[in-house]
């Protein structure tokens, strides 16, 4: 029975791997009205009413099967909740690149914006700050990060793939790629209208301040600032930083270090919960005192499910790191929509809207859940039903009380294959 169930799950997933030729419904012979054509593709969608003889984009259709053939449970009215980073304009500099997804690109994402950035070995995202808080996850390589807080206390640390950091709004900071191949990372901001290309930059500020004011401020001569660049550096390459211990000693002199580290070594963290279906790491103010942005890193095994749930305290911004999955979001008024997700995609679910995420691939699905609030909260469907009087629930859904008594009293987060 277990093998049969698994085969049924795999039959749904095989659609993702089919060639565009197999998906070309327009190539199927047209049958008489009300008749079915022969199923040559194996995807089960052979009705004349499902064919698309006109223009189509087979590459996108192949990647988005739940939009081409939505589940019968979907109902119109739920706006799109997905935007691929691949659609974002990429600004390429000599020392790296960056691209962003904001509310201007993705209208539903009102409270959160995301940025991807790559820095070569020695590449520097110049000293800067911005109004919103910056939450970041290292997705490749290593970097040196620095910051100074409002009391002049310094911070410098090295972070590696899987680690993260949080810089509060208004805190000046920098990022530099280390060897051998620099780094790539994801930045998340608690402001949907954030713009990575309009931050407060050190070079830009000094260039727009009269030299005589600069010399008076630092009690030096105008000549000291003759080499200030005429335009922002933004992303630029320089020599690698000095040894970490040496730089820590330098920046901590006089005032000491920040009381709560801006870095969090998630790569060394044990999962918050593990089940047969996968695992989750939750990072919020409870274990990362510096943060005002909560997050979870979810890993789903093939066939695994991020259980039916919702988040009562804030909107959820998602980033898909690895694998292939699908998500259905339900809205009040009987609206529901299912969309497919791949590595590099952004998802967004408004506060308290129930949803699930299912791994459709044959490898692990890894994605982030990020919230513009210090505390992570969720409520699962199973948790709700298990802690509501069984007779009352059965009177709603007719499952029988025996089934309800067997539901776990604790949320599963990820459910078994």
- Can you say which residues are annotated as belonging to the binding site? 128, 130, 134, 173, 309, 311, 316, 355
* Residues making up the binding site for Mn(2+): 128, 130, 134, 173, 309, 311, 316, 355
Cα 303 to chain centroid, rounded? 21
H helices of 124-270, in order, are 202-207, 211-218, 244-252
Pairing of strands 316-322, 345-349: antiparallel
**Where do the DSSP E strands lie in 245-334?**
263-264, 273-275, 278-283, 294-300, 305-310, 316-322, 324-331
* H-helix or E-strand spanning residue 401: helix 401-406
H helices of 168-325, in order, are 202-207, 211-218, 244-252
Cβ–Cβ < 8 Å for 158, 143: yes
Q: Which of 23, 75, 73, 67 is nearest to 44 (CA)?
A: 23
| Residue 196 among the catalytic residues | no
Cβ–Cβ < 8 Å for 222, 212: yes
> Catalytic one among 64, 126, 369, 383?
369
Burial state string for 261-290 with b = 16 or more CB within 10 A and e = fewer than 16: ebbbebeebebeeebebbbbbbbbbeebeb
Pairing of strands 365-371, 335-342: unpaired
Q: Can you name the residues that pair with 273 across neighbouring β-strands?
A: 280
Find the angle CA(177)-CA(179)-CA(181) to the nearest 5 degrees.
80
* Cβ neighbours of residue 197 closer than 8 Å, sequence gap 6 or more: 91, 100
Q: Which of 366, 375, 235 is nearest to 294 (CA)?
A: 375
In degrees to the nearest 10, what's the CA dihedral of 92, 244, 241, 179?
-50
Cβ–Cβ < 8 Å for 314, 373: yes
Catalytic residue set = 369
């Amino acid at each position: 029975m277990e093998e049969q169930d698994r085969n049924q799950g795999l039959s749904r997933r095989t659609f993702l791997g089919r060639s565009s030729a197999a998906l070309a419904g327009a190539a199927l012979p047209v049958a008489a009205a009300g008749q079915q054509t022969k199923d040559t593709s194996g995807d089960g969608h052979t009705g004349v009413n499902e064919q698309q003889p006109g223009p189509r984009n087979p590459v996108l259709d192949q990647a988005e099967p739940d939009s081409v053939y939505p589940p019968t449970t979907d109902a119109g009215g739920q706006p799109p909740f997905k935007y691929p980073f691949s659609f974002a304009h990429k600004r390429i500099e000599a020392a790296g690149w960056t691209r962003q997804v904001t509310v201007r690109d993705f209208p539903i994402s009102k409270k959160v914006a995301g940025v991807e950035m790559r820095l070569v070995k020695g590449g520097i995202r110049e000293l800067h700050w911005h109004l919103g808080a910056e939450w970041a996850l290292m997705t490749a390589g290593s970097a040196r990060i620095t910051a100074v807080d409002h009391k002049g206390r310094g911070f410098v640390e090295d972070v590696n793939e899987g680690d993260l950091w949080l810089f509060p709004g208004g805190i000046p900071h920098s990022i530099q790629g280390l060897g051998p191949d620099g780094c790539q990372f994801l930045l998340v901001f608690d402001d949907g209208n954030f713009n990575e290309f309009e931050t407060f930059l050190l070079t830009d500020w000094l260039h727009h301040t009269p030299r005589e004011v600069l010399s008076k401020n630092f009690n030096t001569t105008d000549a000291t600032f003759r080499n200030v660049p005429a335009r922002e550096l933004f992303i630029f390459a320089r020599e690698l930083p000095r040894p970490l211990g040496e730089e820590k000693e330098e920046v901590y002199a006089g005032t000491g270090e920040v009381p709560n580290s801006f870095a969090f070594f998630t790569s060394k963290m044990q999962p918050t919960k593990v089940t047969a279906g996968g695992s989750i790491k939750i990072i919020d103010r409870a274990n990362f005192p510096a943060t005002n942005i909560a997050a979870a890193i979810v890993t789903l095994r093939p066939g695994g499910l991020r259980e039916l749930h919702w988040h009562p305290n804030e909107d959820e911004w998602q980033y898909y790191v690895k694998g292939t999955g699908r998500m259905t979001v339900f809205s009040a008024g009987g609206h529901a929509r299912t969309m497919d997700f791949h590595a590099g995609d952004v998802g967004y679910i408004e506060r308290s809207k129930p949803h699930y995420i299912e791994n459709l691939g044959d490898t692990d699905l890894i994605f982030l859940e990020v919230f513009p609030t210090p505390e992570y909260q969720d409520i699962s469907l199973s948790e709700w039903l298990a802690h509501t009087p069984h007779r009352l629930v059965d009177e709603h859904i007719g499952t029988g009380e025996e089934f309800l008594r067997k539901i776990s009293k604790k949320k599963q987060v990820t459910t078994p294959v």
